[in-house]
Amino acid sequence: MRKKIVAGNWKMHFTPTKAAEFAQEMKDKIDTDTVEVVLCVPYVSLQSVQNEFKGTHIKVGAQNMHYMDEGAYTGEISGAMLGDMGVPYVLIGHSERRERFGETDTTINLKTLKALEHGLTPIICVGESLKQRKSGRTFSVLRKQIAFALDELTTSNVSKIVIAYEPIWAIGTGETATTEQAEEACAFIRSNINTRFGSTAADNVRILYGGSVTADTAGELFAEPNIDGGLVGGASMALTFEKVVHFGR
């Protein structure tokens, strides 16, 4: 059985002080060993939130990283830096990074390889736009994104990654893919990995659904056989996040 993951993405919210206060308020409510709970917070809050979660099962993740270990990359953070901090997870290729900051399939692959090199677990985000879905290109988009993201990965490495299917049209819009749409896409991703890396890798890789996941939608989504949890945006910054985590158990 694949252990469910409920990963929160705080995006650009909370000062370090507010982040620590919210972490302190939430930790007893979401601390569990039956679900892997991960909160991906802004760089400046990594340390304060880590301190609050000491002694719990809750993990902290970064929201991005560079694909070089060091260099003249002002404003960037490396996988080596995150590894030295003891940060176990990092988001790679979130749709907002792709759309607003020009991240490409190639850079996402480089970041994935570098994250694994430093012992980080990358949560690789893939998903289609509304235009692509309406034109029947969902699977071709996913196939291309996965092919690039996992280029040069070994079969053993694939078992160490997490993939988040996040349809762009359902992020921050209040729209959610139907359970059938989400399961169909996640099943396609797993089938794609099976074809490329074999059944063991496909059985082990955890695939999340992301896209306006809330306490009202999580239960039905997480019950699907190919959905191993969720990448949660706004709902992870509210007390109702406890209910989302509950559905992962």
From the candidates 96, 128, 166, 183, which is the catalytic residue? 166
Check if the beta carbon of residue 61 is closer than 8 Å to that of residue 88: yes
From the candidates 52, 94, 128, 246, which is the catalytic residue? 94
Helix H or strand E segment including 144: helix 138-149
- Residue 184: active-site member: no
- Residue 166: active-site member: yes
Catalytic residues: 94, 166
